[in-house]
Amino acid sequence: MRRVQHFIDGRLLASADGGTFTSTSPVDNQPIAEVAEGTAADIDAAVAAARGAFDHWSRLDPAERKVMLHRVADLVDARRDELAEWETRDMGKPLALSRDKDMPRVAQNLRFFADWAEQVSTSTYAKPWDQVLTYELREPLGVVGAISPWNFPLMLLSWKVAPALAFGCTVVAKPAEQTPVTASMFAEICAEAGLPDGVFNVVHGFGPGAAGEALTTHADVDAITFTGESATGSAIMAAAAPTQKKLSFEMGGKSANIVCEDADLDAAVAGSLRGIFVNQGEVCLAGSRLLVHRSIHDEFLDRFVAGAESWTVGDPFDPGTQVGPLISPDHLDNVLGYIDLAQQEGAKLLTGGHRRTDGALAQGNYLPPTVFADADNSMRVCQEEIFGPVQLVMPFDTIDEAIAIANDSDYGLAGMVWTQDLDTAHKVAAEVKTGTMWVNCFFVRDLRAPFGGYKASGLGREGGDHSYRFFTEAKAVVMKLS
């Protein structure tokens, strides 16, 4: 059993009231960590530490912050294997994903924003005819609360923490209660890298009525950057209203993946499989509604189902595993409930759909890739986020129809289109209301680009200059020249 503590003002601490909770591994649902359970008192202490550190940290030359953040990145690289193992034990994703994708992205997030903060500029607005010169100053925003989910635990935490720190803010992070371990390891790394006390703090615990909510209502927190469910975003927005915090939300999705009749089928099948089954389908960006042109529907589906059946489900520490366990028994039940619902609503189960209980898998929360044909976009399973390896497939006849189906959703996070036709690609990209549209690819990211969602999928954007604008406050300085 690992002991996981808060990290406040440079020190590892138990909760003020001594409370703890047990974290289990989805691999076998056995306890792996005893975790400090934060309350409002711990949030108070962390916010005070972050406020105390702010003056010094915010006034450093970005080049000085850059040196420290690069050191943090180097230590993440040095401890990559250990971090990846704990991420997989805590979350269930295949080890190769933790080690070769998530942890390198953590280091990349840190280096990218550390460098970016040195490059950013501001505008001037000259009116020489009026002898007025106006220029913009951007100042670090203050104390930021960073609330993150369990599906990419350290990667998504670093996506918030790296820009916040690089642009001169101090941070109180509240990681997901299901996956607390790597956030604490990251805090140790920050201390080892020489980050001043109080610049980065971690308080563990739950959301509603607990540490998470205390962060969102705290009068001395200037902003909340949150990634998680859309309903949680609404709760945070309401909780933060009395203290009028700046908010940035990255939330749920039900993205459409559109396969056109002229698509490169090999690429479309492989990309679409990844688009729903990677990370057990526990991906906000997943292309969970698969729209296939009627003329290729049957052939595509045959290949897609064969592909789904070839994905190996198993222990995430096994090098051959592509689909690990779902995060918790409750979440597995929730996903199985949607599988029942899909059948009640008239979708046709083509593969998967049943929990794997063979051998050691009986101890964990394993569900194989599951594919439904004959889905209709009005079904609840096509409107609600399932957040598991469940693909709903439906045919379309015209690209306008596919776009209309894609837009018939409360969400607008991502989308994919597979086509060889430039006009079709541009039309879909322009007309689908979504934060990211991938053309003939999936999951490719440029960290300078805006990231976020339309509608219930997000509020604001992060990435590159978008993060710069979020984590800084703009000031207009107006000078009358004589």
Binding site for ligand NAD (CB under 6 A): 147-151, 156, 174, 176-177, 206-208, 212-213, 216, 227-229, 232, 235-236, 250-253, 284, 385, 387, 413, 453
Give the residue from 30, 26, 28, 33 showing the smallest Cα distance to 1.
Answer: 33
Q: Which residue has the tokens 């929730």?
A: 334
Question: With respect to ligand NAD, which residue has the nearer C-beta, 71 or 105?
Answer: 105
Degrees, nearest 5: CA angle 207-209-214: 75
How would you class 131 by CB atoms within 10 Å of its CB: exposed for 0-12, middle for 13-18, buried for 19 or more? exposed
Shortest distance (Å) from residue 62 CB to ligand NAD: 26
Q: Minimal distance in Å, beta carbon 128 to ligand NAD?
A: 45
Nearer to ligand NAD, 229 or 401 (CB): 229
As given in the structure block, the two tokens for residue 250 are 């990255």
Question: What order do you get walking across the sheet with 124-127 strand by strand?
Answer: 124-127, 132-140, 472-480
Instruction: Report the residue number, 219 or 422, with the smaller CB distance to ligand NAD.
Output: 219
Instruction: Dig out the tokens for 301 from the structure.
Output: 């589906």
- Nearest 5°: the CA angle 463, 464, 468 is 95
Q: What are phi and psi of 151, to 5 degrees?
A: -80, -30
Q: In terms of CB distance, is 8 or 399 closer to ligand NAD?
A: 8
The residue (of 61 and 446) whose beta carbon lies closer to ligand NAD is: 446
Q: How far is the CB of 441 from ligand NAD (least distance, A)?
A: 18
CB under 8 Å to 24, separation ≥6 — which residues?
A: 30, 31, 32, 328
Would you call 284 a catalytic residue per the annotation?
yes
DSSP 258-320: EE-TTS-HHHHHHHHHHHHHGGGG--TT---EEEEETTTHHHHHHHHHHHHHHSPBS-TTSTT
Shortest CB 156 distance to ligand NAD, Å: 6
* Closer by beta carbon to ligand NAD, 204 or else 293: 204
Residue number with CB closer to ligand NAD (20 or 419)? 20
Q: Residue 86 corresponds to which tokens in the numbers above? A: 């704990």
Task: List beta partners, residue 12.
Answer: 7
What are the C-alpha distances in Å from 343 to residues 41, 352, 358? 47, 13, 24
Q: From the CB of 310, what's the least distance to ligand NAD, in Å?
A: 26
Are 146 and 173 contacting, i.e. CB atoms less than 8 angstroms apart? yes
Return all residues near 478 (Cβ < 8 A) that are at least 6 apart.
132, 133, 134
* Distant-in-sequence, close-in-space partners of 117: CB < 8 Å, separation ≥ 6: 62, 65, 66, 163, 166, 167, 168, 468
For the question of residue 382 being annotated catalytic, the response is: no
Closest separation in Å from C-beta 138 to ligand NAD? 24
Least Å distance, CB 76 to ligand NAD, is 20
Annotated catalytic residue: which of 87, 250, 282, 345? 250
Name the catalytic one among 190, 260, 284, 382: 284
Compare residues 35 and 269 and give the one whose CB is closer to ligand NAD: 35
Please give the Cα distance from 197 to 72 (Å, whole number).
14
Could you tell me the smallest distance in angstroms from the CB atom of residue 37 to ligand NAD? 12
User: Do residues 195 and 162 touch, judged by C-beta distance below 8 A?
Assistant: no
Query: Where in the sequence numbering do the catalytic residues fall?
Result: 250, 284
